[in-house]
Structure 1
Amino acid sequence: MRWRFRLISDLAVAWAGHRVLLAALIAFTAIWIAVGLSFSFPRQWFLLTNMVGTLITFFILLLVQHSQNRDMKALHTKLDELIRSSEAGNHWIAAEKKDVGAIEDMRQQHQDQIPENRA
């Protein structure tokens, strides 16, 4: 089930980010306005437009957030492996899971080790 959601999510995000979708949305908007003009824009027309727009926006937001979360987890995993295989201190591994104060302390410690004349 999880891999199906990932597959559907990846396809939806790729489709939503495709440039052909922009042209399709412009054409759909023009048709929507033309049909609305022919019916003199009844009140239900505006309610339906608002509801559909809100639902689509919410759906795309969730898909993009899911995709970004997965990408960030993969990026953090790759960075952790680079830290493990390098001469960097292992205390940097999983720094994103620490609280803000600890991250700021680690950043300040790193800044203190950089020579002043370095640009």
Structure 2
Amino acid sequence: MRWRFRQISDLSWTGHRAIPVALIALVVTWTSVGLSFSFPRQWFLLTNMVATLITFFLLLLLQHSQNRDVKALHTKLDELIRSSEAGNHWIAAEKKDTDAIEDMREQHQDQISQERA
């Protein structure tokens, strides 16, 4: 399941400019068919259900892509820290708790202010 979801999120058509045009065409078709049947009650229930499922799927898709991008960015930053003269205590800072990150940031700010003085 995980690899299929990744395959879907890696597809280039998900951000293609033709997608909004296709969605507008789908809405126009859906509305015209609904008008021809004078919008029965089940029509609205089905519309709400499909819209909710599509929204939920897109939310998961975006979150997956964002998490993957952030992990790649952190890996690149860790490698830059490792290969530079920077302190290695910053490696994997994103895995520490909020208080530890704030302490590290304050310590870094103190070092900057001492260097300027």
Q: Which amino acid aligns with 2:100?
A: A
The match for 1:20 is 18
Number of residue equivalences = 115
Task: Name stretches of at least 5 consecutive residues in structure 2 with no aligned partner.
Answer: none
The match for 1:90 is 88
| Cα deviation, residue 115, structure 1 | 3.5
CA–CA separation in structure 1 for the residues paired with 2:83 and 2:47 = 54
CA–CA separation in structure 2 for the residues paired with 1:34 and 1:87 = 65
Q: CA RMSD in A?
A: 1.8
Identity %: 81
Task: Name stretches of at least 5 consecutive residues in structure 1 with no aligned partner.
Answer: none
CA–CA separation in structure 1 for the residues paired with 2:29 and 2:20 = 14
CA–CA separation in structure 2 for the residues paired with 1:3 and 1:37 = 41
| TM-score calculated relative to the size of structure 2 | 0.89
Q: Which amino acid aligns with 1:101?
A: D
The match for 2:36 is 38
Matched, 1:47 2:45: yes
CA–CA separation in structure 2 for the residues paired with 1:59 and 1:38 = 30
Q: Between the two structures, name the one with larger relative contact order (CA 8 Å, sep ≥ 6).
A: 1
The match for 1:111 is 109
